[in-house]
């Protein structure tokens, strides 16, 4: 497999993470009234144990946990830092407004990627991610309404901090390609432990009241809060990080569609407009994956 094929495969793996994250809202709603840090503690524990279980068939894989402190700071800081700031934003500001600031992270990934070695930020990357951002603005404003108010400034700052935390984690993972994705299991377990501390300090324990709610919690831990982080790690380290950033705007769109299908939300014209904007933006940003450079085409013809 050549380098181009490897990058495409890694990009598709990262896109699988985006697809899994689009079930996050639906599964969270289906999980009942469990407080966010309690839910994070349980689901990250499940996600971490998935990685640990995979080591059984691969002797020596557990050695991935032996990483410098900087790697642990990046991994745990990205996973726990993002979720802690996001949960704080939802407590301190209305959800719709908090989401608008939070969903700056795909745009920031595309912009920050320009700082990476051997990465070139082109106009179509910026154009594509701006279309995605526009579609998300239409989606959130149209479905829930938006009203920015000064008294929620702390919540807005937390949401923006969450966007910075996740985009920084995603981009800074690139220079650590030599760190195996097995290490993500350790990051998840550490995030689970920190979430448990926050839950005991700030929340009241609420357990699922039905088998369906327990199933939703389990599926959350296996996919959006489990396998998705391993897939994302692979994607941002070896895939087209700019295309992944732009394509990440598909998560809120698909999430809303799944809520509509499940009967938790109503269909609307804003959903259709957002779908067009986000789909177009993703296609524009990912143009490099479908259009070969002229020099590459000429060389293949000569051979």
Q: Does 14 have pLDDT greater than 70? A: yes
Stretch 134-151: mean pLDDT = 80
Helix (H) or strand (E) run with residue 199 in it: helix 183-202
DSSP state of 209: -
The pLDDT mean for the chain works out to 89
DSSP per-residue letters across 46-102: HHHHHHHHHGGGSTTGGGGG---HHHHHHHHHHHHHHHHHHHHHHHHS-HHHHHHHH
Contacts of 198 (CB under 8 A, 6+ apart): 37, 84
Q: Does 294 have pLDDT greater than 80? A: no
| Dist CA 298 CA 264 (whole Å) | 52
| Dist CA 138 CA 134 (whole Å) | 6
The more confidently predicted of residues 39 and 2 is: 39
Lowest mean pLDDT among 164-168, 179-183, 193-197, 241-245: 241-245
How does residue 207 score in pLDDT terms, banded at 50, 70 and 90? Answer: very high
Instruction: Label residues 229-240 b or e (16+ Cβ within 10 Å = b).
Output: bbbbbbbbbbbb
DSSP state of 152: G
DSSP per-residue letters across 268-283: -HHHHHHHHHHHHHHH
DSSP per-residue letters across 88-140: HHHHHS-HHHHHHHHTTHHHHHHHHGGGSTT----HHHHHHHHHHHHHHHHHH
How does residue 260 score in pLDDT terms, banded at 50, 70 and 90? Answer: confident
The more confidently predicted of residues 65 and 271 is: 65
Stretch 170-175: mean pLDDT = 96
The pTM of the full predicted model, rounded to 2 decimals, is 0.89
The confidence score (pLDDT) of residue 301 equals 44
| Dist CA 230 CA 46 (whole Å) | 13
Burial of 199 (0-12, 13-18, 19+ CB in 10 A): buried
| Dist CA 12 CA 100 (whole Å) | 26
**Tokens linked to 302:** 């000569």
Q: Does 147 have pLDDT greater than 80? A: no
| pLDDT, tens digit, 9 for 90 and up, residues 76-119 | 999 999 999 999 998 898 887 888 889 889 989 989 998 898 77
The more confidently predicted of residues 296 and 185 is: 185
The confidence score (pLDDT) of residue 169 equals 97
Among left, alpha and beta (phi > 0; psi -120 to 50; other), residue 208 is beta
How does residue 224 score in pLDDT terms, banded at 50, 70 and 90? Answer: very high
Stretch 189-217: mean pLDDT = 97
Q: Does 295 have pLDDT greater than 70? A: no
Q: What 3-state class would DSSP assign to 243? A: helix
The confidence score (pLDDT) of residue 298 equals 46
**Tokens linked to 27:** 């599964």
| Dist CA 303 CA 301 (whole Å) | 5
Cβ pair 141, 96 in contact under 8 A: yes
Least Cα distance to 184 among 223, 222, 219, 229 occurs for 229
How does residue 270 score in pLDDT terms, banded at 50, 70 and 90? Answer: confident
Q: What percent of the chain has pLDDT over 90?
A: 59
| pLDDT, tens digit, 9 for 90 and up, residues 21-40 | 999 989 999 999 999 999 99
Rounded to 5°, angle at Cα 176 from 172 and 182: 110
End-to-end CA distance of the chain: 18
Cβ pair 89, 101 in contact under 8 A: yes
The confidence score (pLDDT) of residue 189 equals 98
The confidence score (pLDDT) of residue 292 equals 57
């Amino acid at each position: 497999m050549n380098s181009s094929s490897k990058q495409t495969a890694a990009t598709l793996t990262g896109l699988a993470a985006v697809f899994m994250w689009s079930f996050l809202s639906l599964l969270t709603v289906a999980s009942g009234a469990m407080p966010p840090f309690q839910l994070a503690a349980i689901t990250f524990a499940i996600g971490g144990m998935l990685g640990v279980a995979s080591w059984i068939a691969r002797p020596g894989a557990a050695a991935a946990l032996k990483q410098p402190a900087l790697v642990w700071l990046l991994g745990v800081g990205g996973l726990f830092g993002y979720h802690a700031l996001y949960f704080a934003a939802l407590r301190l500001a209305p959800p719709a407004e908090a989401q608008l600031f939070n969903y700056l992270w795909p745009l920031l990934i595309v912009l920050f990627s320009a700082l990476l070695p051997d990465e070139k930020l082109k106009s179509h990357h910026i154009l594509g991610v701006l279309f995605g951002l526009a579609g998300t603005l239409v989606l959130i404003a149209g479905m829930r309404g938006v009203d920015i108010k000064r008294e929620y400034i702390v919540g807005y700052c937390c949401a923006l901090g969450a966007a910075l935390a996740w985009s920084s984690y995603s981009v800074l993972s690139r220079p650590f390609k030599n760190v195996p994705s097995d290490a993500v299991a350790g990051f998840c377990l550490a995030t689970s432990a920190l979430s448990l501390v926050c839950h005991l300090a700030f929340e009241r324990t609420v357990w699922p009241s039905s088998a369906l709610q327990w199933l939703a919690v389990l599926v959350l831990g296996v996919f959006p809060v489990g396998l998705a982080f391993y897939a994302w790690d692979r994607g941002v380290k070896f895939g087209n990080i700019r295309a992944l950033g732009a394509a990440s705007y598909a998560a809120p769109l698909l999430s809303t569609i799944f809520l509509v299908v499940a009967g938790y939300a109503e269909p609307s014209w804003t959903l259709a407009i957002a779908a067009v904007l986000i789909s177009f933006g993703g296609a524009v940003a990912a143009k490099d994956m479908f259009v070969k450079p002229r020099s590459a085409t000429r060389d293949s013809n000569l051979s």
